[in-house]
């Protein structure tokens, strides 16, 4: 019997990679979702014979209805059709929607699936206690899809946090690793978007260059694996071959390695252990003999000092940090500020007096997080626009 799966965010990079791994003899893709890219999702539905697609943006939803001539494709604007049509839980859903827009769909789909792979950072950073509670309530298995977190998960999923001495997340260092600090003011957007080892979207490419993306991954790891921040560290590994290192209290250190592709964590999150990944390669000794591991410094990557501002207990402050960074990066991508300004503005804004209260405020529901996101974004977007006219 074919396994039924769903893909949240099928038109993004993770969603498209997931589709490439689909063997339609073994899987039935029950639904795909998109926000505004209705033409692309209609083509995907046609190619993979998907009967149900969800387009969350209402204008795009209406446009898709007008141009859709395929009577075999049902177009919806939300998950309500699942209540009526789904007789039993799906076997697997991957949440690959980027940004805060992925929060509600990720939360809402949990009840409809036996297993969920989550690549949406905001769900794991801003809303983890809420997401985790919903997972337990519905007995839904969770797998982190990010390469670093998937690597750690495969190693320690059945191990007590007390046995872990330290976890190291590796970072490539981005396109500016070897650039002198003097030249940062002259760096253009084109250079920032040329990631040396991964092919990523614009926003995450900028976060990789500042090292904020790795800070977010530390926050994710802290939540997912129930570890204190002092047990998680970042090291530079330009080749992106090692994805994580786990140091145990008994003296054993394990290194998790795989090729620089998201296909491996996605494939293994979908398939059971007896499935064969056809593109598996032997150990690359050339890379292993030239690992070039380096300590990370706040002098080189000043934004990493944000980790000192985050309380160990989960709070609304994580949402504040995510939103401020999103806002500042958006201004850079629109050409309103220089690359060098990203780190300084984020560090300045998160220390705003009125924001400290959120370190002692705890999220009760998804809507509370989204409302705070909208409030913070509006406030600091205005501040930047007024300062950099």
pTM assigned to the model: 0.93
Q: Is the dihedral of CA 314, 316, 320, 323 positive or negative?
A: positive
- Give the angle 87-90-92 at the CA atoms, nearest 5°: 180
Residue 281: its pLDDT value, please?
92
Alpha carbon distance 21, 64 (integer Å): 26
Residue 182: its pLDDT value, please?
54
Superfamily (CATH) of domain 3-145: NAD(P)-binding Rossmann-like Domain (3.40.50.720)
Q: Where are the domains of the chain?
A: 3-145
CA distance from start to end of the chain: 60
User: What are the residues whose beta carbons fall under 8 Å from the beta carbon of 118, sequence distance 6 or more?
Assistant: 94, 95, 106, 124, 131, 142, 143, 144, 145
Residue 195: its pLDDT value, please?
78
Residue 183: its pLDDT value, please?
62
Instruction: Give me the tens of pLDDT residue by residue for the chain, a chain 389 residues long.
Output: 889 999 999 999 999 999 999 877 789 999 999 999 999 999 999 999 999 999 999 999 999 999 998 889 999 999 999 988 998 999 999 999 999 999 999 999 999 999 999 999 999 999 999 999 999 999 999 999 999 999 999 999 989 999 999 999 999 988 888 777 656 667 888 888 887 777 778 898 999 999 999 999 999 999 999 999 999 999 999 999 999 999 999 999 999 999 999 999 999 999 866 788 888 899 999 999 999 999 998 888 999 999 998 999 999 999 999 999 999 999 999 999 999 899 999 999 999 888 999 999 999 999 999 999 999 999 999 999 998 87
Upper half-sphere CA count for residue 308 (Cβ side, 13 Å): 7
Alpha carbon distance 120, 123 (integer Å): 6
Q: Are 381 and 329 in contact (CB under 8 A)?
A: no
Residue 326: its pLDDT value, please?
96
């Amino acid at each position: 019997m074919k396994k039924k799966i769903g893909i949240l965010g099928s038109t993004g990079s993770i969603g498209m990679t997931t589709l490439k791994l689909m063997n339609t003899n073994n899987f039935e893709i029950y639904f795909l979702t998109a926000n505004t890219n209705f033409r692309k999702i209609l083509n995907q539905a046609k190619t993979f014979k998907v009967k149900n697609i969800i387009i969350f943006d209402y204008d795009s939803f209406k446009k898709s209805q007008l141009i859709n001539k395929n009577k075999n494709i049902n177009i919806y604007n939300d998950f309500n059709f699942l209540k009526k049509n789904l007789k039993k839980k799906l076997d697997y859903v991957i949440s690959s929607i980027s940004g805060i827009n992925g929060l509600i769909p990720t939360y809402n789909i949990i009840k409809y699936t036996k297993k969920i792979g989550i690549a949406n950072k905001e769900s794991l950073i801003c809303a983890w206690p809420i997401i985790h509670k919903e997972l337990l309530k519905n007995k839904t298995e969770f797998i982190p899809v990010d390469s670093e977190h998937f690597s750690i998960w495969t190693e320690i999923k059945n191990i007590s946090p007390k046995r872990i001495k330290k976890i190291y997340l590796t970072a490539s260092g981005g396109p500016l690793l070897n650039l002198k600090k003097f030249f940062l003011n002259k760096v253009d957007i084109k250079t920032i978007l040329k990631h040396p080892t991964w092919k990523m979207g614009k926003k995450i490419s900028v976060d990789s260059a500042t090292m904020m993306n790795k800070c977010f991954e530390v926050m994710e790891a802290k939540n997912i694996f129930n570890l204190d921040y002092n047990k998680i560290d970042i090291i530079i590994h330009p080749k992106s071959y090692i994805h994580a290192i786990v140091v145990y209290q008994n003296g054993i250190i394990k290194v998790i390695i795989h090729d620089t592709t998201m296909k491996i964590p996605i494939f293994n999150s979908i398939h059971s252990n007896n499935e064969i990944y056809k593109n598996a390669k032997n150990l690359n000794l050339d890379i292993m003999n030239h690992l070039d591991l380096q300590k990370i410094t706040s002098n080189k990557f000043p934004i990493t000092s944000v980790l000192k501002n985050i309380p160990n207990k989960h709070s609304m402050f994580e949402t504040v940090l995510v939103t401020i960074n999103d806002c500042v990066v958006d201004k850079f991508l629109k050409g309103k500020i220089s690359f060098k300004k990203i780190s300084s503005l984020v560090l300045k804004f998160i220390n705003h007096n009125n924001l400290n209260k959120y370190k002692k405020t705890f999220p009760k529901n998804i809507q509370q997080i989204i409302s705070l996101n909208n409030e913070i974004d509006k406030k600091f977007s205005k501040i930047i626009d007024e300062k950099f006219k």
